Amino acid sequence: MTEPQAMDGLDDLGDLYGEMILDHQRRPRNFRDLPDANRRAVGHNPLCGDRIAITVRLEADSIREIGFTGDGCAISKASASIMTDAVKSRTRAEVEALYGKFHSLVTGPSTGAPGDGAALGKLAVFGGVSRFPMRVKCATLAWHTLRAALEGRGATVTTEKESS
Ligand code: ZN
């Protein structure tokens, strides 16, 4: 059964939330903490209140297993969910390349090379985010967190400069 959009508090964001984004928000994939993770990081987007923890088992420089936990808005959760599916079994270099394409997608009118949309697969559903600048940080939070984890920084990353 499809709930009316108003019940989800989506109001003016309207068509930004496609069916796939809503599905991943309601039933996030890889939503768990890996007990045998060897990389982890926490990401925080204070502008929206999104907080995501990513755990990764990295083997031979590629992502063997990945999970995330945390809470936030529909975009941040769906982005983390779809990202964890998209990066599984990829190397760190491949994750960086994918992040570059995703970042161009959500930050502006496509300047990427033709074919980037296809390379992004399901991640392409976040194309609408570029029309909502406030939501870009929600969409990229999981990626910032994953990159921090892969670099072994292990710390909490934030989308904003700490003012204190
Ligand atoms: Zn958010």
Give the 3-state secondary structure of residue 18.
coil
Residue 64 Cα to ligand 1 middle (Å): 27
Residue 60 Cα to ligand 1 middle (Å): 33
Within the chain, residue ranges assigned H as helices are 19-26, 74-87, 92-107, 116-120, 133-150
Residue 58 Cα to ligand 1 middle (Å): 27
Tell me how far apart the alpha carbons of residues 37 and 24 are, in angstroms, rounded to a whole number.
23
Q: What are the phi and psi torsion angles at 2 (to 5°)? A: -95, 125
Residue 141 Cα to ligand 1 middle (Å): 8
Q: Which pLDDT tens digit goes with each residue over 9-27?
A: 444 455 678 889 999 999 9
What percent of the chain has a predicted confidence (pLDDT) above 90? 68
Residue that has been written with the tokens 């309601």 in this structure: 26
Residue that has been written with the tokens 């009316």 in this structure: 4
Residue 7 Cα to ligand 1 middle (Å): 17
Instruction: Name the residue ranges covered by the structural domains of the chain.
Output: 3-151
Q: What is the pTM of this model?
A: 0.84
The neighbourhood of ligand 1, an ion, using CB within 5 A, equals 48, 50, 73, 76, 138
Residue 53 Cα to ligand 1 middle (Å): 14
Tell me how far apart the alpha carbons of residues 141 and 45 are, in angstroms, rounded to a whole number.
7
Tell me how far apart the alpha carbons of residues 100 and 49 are, in angstroms, rounded to a whole number.
24
Q: Which residue has the higher pLDDT, 81 or 119?
A: 81
CATH of domain 3-151: 3.90.1010.10
What percent of the chain has a predicted confidence (pLDDT) above 70? 81
pLDDT band for position 117 (cuts 50, 70, 90): low
Q: Which residues pair with 58 in a beta bridge?
A: 63
The four Cα atoms 108, 70, 97, 13 give a dihedral, to 10 degrees, of -20
DSSP letter for 4, please: P
What integer best gives the mean pLDDT of the chain? Answer: 86
Q: Which residue has the higher pLDDT, 75 or 7?
A: 75
At 80 the pLDDT is: 98
Residue 138 Cα to ligand 1 middle (Å): 4
At 4 the pLDDT is: 46
Query: In 3-state terms, the chain is what percent helix, strand and coil (to 5)?
Result: 50, 20, 30
